[in-house]
Amino acid sequence: MPPKLVRVGISVVEHNDHYLVGVRGPSGPLAGYDEFPGGKCLVNETPVACAVRECMEETGLLVRILQPLYHRRFDYTHATVDLSFYLCAIENPEGDLTPTAPFRWVDLRELCSLRFPDANQEVVSLLWDRAQKREEERHWT
């Protein structure tokens, strides 16, 4: 029997050149790996709504979706995941931006050195490329 398909909404939250990242707990699949806030979609829930809801539940921070960032299906031994990543911003950046543990803010260099699941690697590369393009644009303006 093929693994079940799991739809997942993920918030890639960017604020002042930092990203919101947590560590998966010791039990369950991919224990100890780093992760962006996100989780399984509820029945009839869109990945966009899921990404916002999961970020609030996991970090205590309300975000808004800026744009779709990346989408892919990935086969793990425990399931096939349909991952929708969204670039997000903090809804109220003047408020307390301290996330609930185990989430924390990391800069891009640290982000690139973290241990993400294989399905997330392309997102980290996209964020690096995006930052490089922004830096080049700043240099030329």
Cβ atoms of residues 132 and 125 within 8 Å? no
Q: Is the pLDDT of residue 139 over 80?
A: no
Which domain, by its residues, includes 22?
5-140
Question: What DSSP line would sit under 35-99, residue for residue?
Answer: E-SEEEPPTT--HHHHHHHHHHHHHS--EEEEEEEEEEEEE-SS-EEEEEEEEEEES-TTS---P
pTM: 0.91
Q: Please give the tally of structural domains in the chain.
A: 1
Please report which confidence band the pLDDT of residue 137 belongs to, taking 50, 70 and 90 as the band edges.
Answer: confident
pLDDT at 60: 96
Please report which confidence band the pLDDT of residue 138 belongs to, taking 50, 70 and 90 as the band edges.
Answer: confident
Q: pLDDT of 30-80, one tens digit each? A: 889 999 999 999 999 999 999 999 999 999 999 999 999 999 999 888 789
Cβ atoms of residues 85 and 46 within 8 Å? no
CATH at residue 73: 3.90.79.10
